Amino acid sequence: MEAAKTFVQRPSRLGVVREHEIMRVVGTLGGSDSSASADLARREVLKWAQNRSGGKLPEEAWQFQSFEYLAGGRNSAGIRIQYESSDIWAIRADDPDKFVPGRVWTTEVVVGLDGRAAHFSTRLLASTNEQDLNIEPHAPGFVLQLISSLGLSRGGLDMEVEPWRIERDSEMAHLLDVMASPDRDVPVFVLTVAEGAAGPNVDAAALARATAGIAIVAIVPDALTWRIRDRFQRPRAVFNGAARAYLPGFNENARPFEHRLARPEELYTREDQARSLRWMRILAARESIFRSRLGHRVLSFTGIRNASLRARQIHLSDEGASDSEQLAAAGARIEALEGEVADTQAMLDFFSESTQEAEERAANAEAQLRASAYRIDQLLQQISALGAPAEQIELPASWADFAGWCDVALAGRVALASAARRGVRDPEFEDVGLAARCLLWLATEYRQGRIDGASGDFRDYVIEAGVRNSRCGNDEFEFDWQRRRMTADWHIKDSSGTRDPKRCLRIYYVWEPETQEVVIADMPSHRRSAVS
């Protein structure tokens, strides 16, 4: 879903109690008989709930009917809704933490049949008055049991309890396809094994169990890691005992720094390894919430309870039930609606806090970027003063390498905005070398001239034969960059006059004086405007 934690506030003598959402597991159950798979899943969940209830669940529970079980904090409730071809069964179970006073774990499970398949989802929540909830997320035991006995798939991928050990080229090719699949909605943790090592530097078995249903854990020997470099290029690779988290949306043009890398030196000690294992578990849990939308792929228990109570209220009215019965049903419905309102408010609170955190991170990142750019300039000036040879930058060989090349080779000097990044994925313009040389000119000669205050010297500047730099004029346009509205007022263009997209080059850009960067708004083709 699109919320990672929910915060439901209510008074407490010890402080404000908040309900934090820890993870969401969603998928389709395996098995040839979907009805039998749904029954087996319900039974396994009930066994798990009864073991934590401190007593015996009522007979209605084992008949998969609606029930309520109250046991002094270890409460459980179940709901069953059957309508035409749909069959939804849900349970919510509370379990006080054995070691932390005041912390209560809540697990919600939904098993649904739609006539074709058995769908499964679960939410793990923790209610506590702790200021900082310091936990290491772990998939509930029944999730591991269901994956082992029935199988669970999501996004066309089979979830596993054990790590995926890559040993052959065919398995490696499949892993690469999984990593780049647009349908994948779970992280892939690639743990490499250094040459001569017995295994990866991260406990793969522990990571696979903790993230069962919400991530894929793959172990790759160093002899096969070259396949990752070959397909995705070195900035996106992982090898020599390192570990990397490849988030959903990864492909050949992904920004390398968005997919966290743990280098071998960061996995040297047991403390380092435990720290990395922790952030991987937290990352997978948070991604499971962001990628599974509440009310769509995952249903909340309060929402299902409200639907059940609404159906009962309508039934009582149609049957002419007494006023007292209808009043009691209306009261229960109001209570359920209040629960839904609390859930909605919790999501809004989370979004508000997440937005504030994101804005703070963005502001910090911009400040660090400015400081880094300033430091880079200092070092380049020192190198130049020492009479060192000019910087040698190897140009990209294809458009598939272009965005990554710009991110690494021109970092802090030239940046691609979203439209430009989309434009260089697979353009019709053929001369990738020319486009790269133009960006390199912007990163070096042009940028240094702007820093020195010589902006006027670059009007109609000839970069190389047939290619010049000039004002956009009527072709200038606005675009968004790092929370700001900017205007692309310069462009590099070929002088041939052709509009053939295979030969017509246009690089629209703006100079950003605060970060001292050239921001590429769009490229490499001519951009249609009101006058062209």
Helix (H), strand (E), coil (C) string for 301-319: HHHHHHHHHHHHHHHHHHC
> Which tokens hold the place of 293?
């939308």
Per-residue pLDDT of the chain (532 residues; tens, 9 = 90+): 333 333 334 434 445 778 888 999 999 999 999 999 999 999 999 999 999 888 899 999 999 999 999 887 899 999 998 877 789 999 999 999 988 988 999 999 999 998 789 999 999 999 888 877 788 999 999 999 999 999 999 988 999 999 999 999 999 999 999 999 999 999 999 999 999 999 999 999 999 999 999 999 999 999 999 999 999 988 899 999 999 999 999 998 888 888 999 989 889 889 889 989 999 999 999 999 888 877 777 877 877 776 666 655 565 566 676 667 666 666 666 666 666 556 655 555 555 565 666 666 566 566 656 666 666 666 767 777 776 665 678 899 899 989 888 888 888 889 998 889 999 988 999 999 999 999 999 999 999 888 887 766 788 899 999 999 999 988 888 888 876 778 899 999 987 777 788 889 999 999 987 778 899 999 999 887 544 4
Q: Rounded to 5 degrees, what are φ and ψ at 11?
A: -65, 150
pLDDT computed for residue 438 by the predictor: 96
pLDDT computed for residue 141 by the predictor: 95
Q: Rounded to 5 degrees, what are φ and ψ at 22?
A: -95, -45
Q: In 386-495, where does DSSP find H-type helix?
A: 399-409, 418-423, 432-441, 447-451
The closest of 263, 281, 267 to 206, measured between CA atoms, is: 281
* Residue 15 φ/ψ region, left for φ over 0, alpha for ψ in the -120 to 50 degree band, beta for the rest: left
The pairing of strands 164-165 and 216-221 is parallel
Domain ranges of the chain: 18-153, 160-290, 399-522
> Which tokens hold the place of 417?
């905005």
CATH H-level, domain 160-290: superfamily: Glutaredoxin (3.40.30.10)
Strands (E), 164-215: 164-165, 188-193
pLDDT computed for residue 169 by the predictor: 95
pLDDT computed for residue 5 by the predictor: 38
The DSSP letter of residue 396 is P
Q: Scanning the structure block, which residue is given the tokens 């690494």?
A: 408
Calculate the alpha carbon distances from 51 to 61, 148, 416 in Å. Answer: 14, 20, 55
pLDDT computed for residue 339 by the predictor: 63
Q: Rounded to 5 degrees, what are φ and ψ at 142?
A: -70, -25
Per the CB < 8 A criterion, the answer to whether 524 and 423 are in contact is yes
Q: How far apart are CA 29 and CA 432, in angstroms?
A: 47
pLDDT computed for residue 369 by the predictor: 63
Q: Scanning the structure block, which residue is given the tokens 């040993």?
A: 167
3-state secondary structure of 265: helix
ω before 524 within 30° of 0 (cis)?
A: yes
3-state secondary structure of 530: coil
The DSSP letter of residue 115 is S
The closest of 64, 114, 111 to 86, measured between CA atoms, is: 114
